[in-house]
Amino acid sequence: MLHDLLAIASGSLVGFTLGLIGGGGSVLAVPLLVYVVGVPSPHVAIGTSAIAVAASAAINLAGHARAQTVKWPCALVFAVSGVVGAALGAQLGKMVDGARLLALFGGLMVVIGVLMLRPRRGGGNPDVKLDAESLTTLLPWLIGGGLVVGALSGFFGIGGGFVIVPGLIAATAMPLINAIGSSLVSVTAFGLTTAASYAWSGLVDWPLALMFIAGGAVGGLAGTRLARHLSSHKNALTRVFSGIVIAVGLYVIARSIVG
């Protein structure tokens, strides 16, 4: 019973964070499964988190789509190119020793946390879109960014939202709220690609994934609603969460070294 409650609570945190800022929950999913829920294998934790994060992202995407914050053409190009990178990254990840993979994962979390502390410019171009006029300018950035982010997603079993959001802003100059909504298309696609690769190798705990998804559905609804009302506090929330990501990353590195 305690195991189930921890899985549902961890899933709720993942879903809440995905809904609120379009990322972050996926970065926490693997450490939560390993150190809170108690999954013994890092590879099973990655495979299980991938399917759970994909489902949570899809639920949150529906909420952002209803709010019309998703730039669909840009989001779909980024996601399709990212699926290729995610498939390659997942194959590489399965060939790396589990303890070393966790250490690398912790290092990535620290880097992401530090990058989150960098101030983001407000505003943006709310009318940006991928069409015949902008094709030559936007398409190379969207394809290249999708491949790189997808590879990281597959290798570490993360949705990649923290990298996708600034990537979409850099490539298109879309406002932050649109980047958050649009990033969930890629998070869903990357998670499903990674999960399929790990499921084929028998590295997904399906009952645990279902409990994680159930918690994520509840947390995601709360996060998406809060994202619409706390835009003025977004920088403060980002700084707090950045500190959490860095702290958890250091903890993962220490645990992987100690064994």
Question: What is the average pLDDT score of the chain?
Answer: 84
Place of tokens 């997942």: 90
Measure CA of the first residue to CA of the last residue in the chain; give whole Å: 27
Among 103, 114, 90, 98, which Cα is nearest to 201's? 90
pLDDT band at 161 (very low <50, low <70, confident <90, very high): low
In tens, the pLDDT along 139-152 reads: 998 999 888 888 88
pLDDT category at 121 given cuts 50, 70, 90 is low
Whether pLDDT at 86 is above 90? no
Answer yes or no: is pLDDT of 83 > 70.
yes
Residue reference for tokens 């559905």: 217
Alpha helices (H) in the chain, listed in sequence order: 2-21, 25-31, 42-66, 72-94, 98-116, 135-156, 161-172, 176-200, 206-229, 234-258
Each domain of the chain, given as residue ranges in start order, spans 2-258
Q: How confident is the model over 25-49, as pLDDT tens digits?
A: 667 888 899 999 999 998 999 999 9
| Chain center to CA of 139 | 22
Question: How confident is the model over 185-236, as pLDDT tens digits?
Answer: 988 988 888 889 999 999 999 999 999 999 988 998 888 787 767 656 656 6
Q: What is residue 211's predicted lDDT score, i.e. its pLDDT?
A: 95
Residue 9 pLDDT: 94
Largest CA distance in the chain: 57
Distance CA 64, CA 129 (A): 17
Report phi then psi at 92, rounded to 5. Answer: -65, -40
Single-letter amino acid code for the residue at 246: I
Can you give the pLDDT at residue 24? 66
Tokens of 74: 């840009």
pTM for the structure as a whole = 0.76
Please state, as a whole number, how many other Cβ atoms lie within 10 Å of the Cβ of residue 237.
17
Average pLDDT over residues 140-167: 80
120 pLDDT band (50/70/90 cuts)? Answer: low
Q: Rounded to an integer, what distance in angstroms lies between the CA atom of residue 83 and that of residue 18?
A: 19
